[in-house]
Amino acid sequence: MNAEPQIQHRWLDKFIGTWTSETEFSMEPNAEPSKATGTEVVRSIGGVWIVAEGTSDLPDGGVGTTIMTLGFDPRIDRFVGTFIGSMMTHLWVYNGSLDPAQKVLTLDTEGLNFSQTAMAKYQDIIEFVSDDHRVMKSQILMDDGTWNHFMTAHYRRQ
């Protein structure tokens, strides 16, 4: 069994490299956002997957580690992947699509809501502003049906 890279797999190659990150996030409405900086190294696995390993400072003074995997499953015509972080116990499972301009990848996932009382729908939306600058925005679907944007991360290639 040997996976043959598709156009979508080659699109993921845009992530490969070493990046610095600047993140702003707020888990509560109208709260002052927290800020973090970090680094991320992204490598390819067989030309069909990417693995992004990141570290960043946390508001409590600690350091967080994250790992994101992304690939493309031609059988279902969707981008798939996972996300884990040292600051959480949930395994985020991605299922997403690329916009027609091939600039924005929207990844749907599910996890506990902010109050940790029920499951909620989330989206991580990754936009390539240029080959050396990408932005990831995270949002949660609220009970009233609106999306609440709670995080923006800017990644710049080193």
Structure confidence by residue, pLDDT tens digits, 115-157: 899 999 999 999 999 999 999 999 999 999 999 999 999 999 9
Q: Are 97 and 81 in contact (CB under 8 A)?
A: no
Domain spans, the chain: 7-25+33-157
- pLDDT bracket for residue 15 (50, 70, 90): very high
Is CATH 2.40.128.20 correct for 7-25+33-157?
yes
- Cβ neighbourhood burial of 101 (10 Å; 0-12, 13-18, 19+): exposed
pTM equals 0.94
Structure token pair of residue 115: 């109050």
List pLDDT tens digits, range 34-83. Answer: 999 999 999 999 999 999 999 999 888 899 999 999 999 999 999 999 99
- CA nearest neighbour of 5 among 45, 61, 51: 45
Q: Give the strand pairing for 34-45 and 49-57.
A: antiparallel
Mean pLDDT of 105-124: 95
Measured distance CA(85)–CA(92) in Å, rounded: 9
- Looking at residue 1, what is its pLDDT? 65
- CA nearest neighbour of 98 among 3, 6, 28, 1: 6
